[in-house]
Amino acid sequence: MTSAASASSSATPWRLVLLLGALTAFAPMSIDMYLSSFPAIGQTLKAGPEQVQLTLATFFAGMAIGQFLYGPASDRLGRRAPILLGVVIYTVASVTCALAPNIDVLLGARFVQALGGCAGAVVARAVVRDRFDHAETARVLSLMTLIMGLAPVLAPQLGGLIFALAGWRAVFGVMALFGLAIGLWVLLGLKESRSEETAAQARAENPLRAFALLLREKRLLGYGIAGALNGSVLFTYISTSPDLVMGTYGHSPLVFNIVFAANAVGIIGASQVNRLLLRRFKPDEVLTRASLASTTLALVLSFFAWTGLGGEWTVLPVLFLALSTYGLMSGNTMAGALSVDPRRAGSISALMGGTSFGAGAVAAWAGGLLHDGTPRPVAIVMFACLVGSSLAIFLLAVPKKAAVSA
């Protein structure tokens, strides 16, 4: 543990937390800012709704793949260089999105944009593990969730305003400016944190061998599966919520934005409750309790979705509560995973992030495949994911003694 870690309990390094939180905001900013522009993009580029929808799927794919590249690179080359490279790629791709003459170019540019944007998230998590121990890592990740969580609240509103004033191409222009600003912040404000032990370990082994060795770790598999399935709940909600709120329940885009923002606030609030709970409980203790609560809420959601009892007045509030548990679980699964082998923090961060986006893409696809104009599909997928997440936590990730005490 570094000296920064030992000092972390007495003072929160807010400048570092703000920067790392901003680095993790690339994905939500890039996803949520342009959702309200979908119809206009289709009209301008002469593309159908399903083609425009693919720009979201290709972004998820790029986020999943890219993290497996930046994680090992950050262990081998250091934390700063991969972030700066990713920011450059993201900025150039954002400009290409803004200038796209057809849907095919936009699809390709969105994939490359994700390949660049994912660098910030994967390396930021490794930086946290470089500087803090297990418990402090969970607390700092909760603080980063507070910052990252502002993106789903503000991005749709900001994107809608930019679209109304200057059109959808300007939305991608703002993404490019965001990338440029974060790149300058990293260049001037982020110190190298990778340890010599991590560097030596990375130089001594092939990245594929590092992944293979990590996948043999039972606890890491547990945290990884739990984190991926827990993240899938969020991706399922993001992909199905526009149709649920505006289609099934017939609300306006304004009401949808309010519901979307409210659920984001729930996740943010839960992440800060998690930070307070960690003053009294160990991360695994909070994680086990939160997993039981999330599974119970998903079961209740499924009941109301299938019976139709109470309509949206029961489904949407229970959905809010179920989604909020993400704020209690995400930081603790990540902190637990990073504690398994701190020497390979970059590779672990890549595994956690990559599998989360990959599983999220599958879950979102399943939600669309099961679409029937009711809240049943989102309830089914969420329940299945959260049951799987709980099983992974109790059977693989958390030592038996901790699980019993929880």
So where are the chain's domains?
Answer: 13-205, 206-399
Class of the CATH domain delimited by 206-399? mainly alpha
Mean pLDDT for 338-365 is 78
Angle (nearest 5°) at CA 100 between 95 and 105: 110
The pLDDT tens digits for 303-316 are 999 998 988 999 99
More confident residue, 138 or 21: 21
**CA-CA distance, 371 to 375, in Å (whole number)?**
9
Mean pLDDT for 338-353 is 77
pLDDT(388) > 90: yes
pLDDT(404) > 50: no
pLDDT(171) > 90: yes
| Model pTM score | 0.72
* Chain mean pLDDT for the chain: 82
Other C-beta atoms closer than 10 Å to the C-beta of 3 total 8
**CA-CA distance, 22 to 20, in Å (whole number)?**
5
Class of the CATH domain delimited by 13-205? mainly alpha
pLDDT(201) > 70: no
The pLDDT tens digits for 111-153 are 999 999 888 888 887 787 777 776 677 777 776 766 666 776 7
Confidence of residue 299 (pLDDT cuts 50, 70, 90): very high
* CA atoms within 13 A of residue 97's CA, in its CB half-sphere: 33
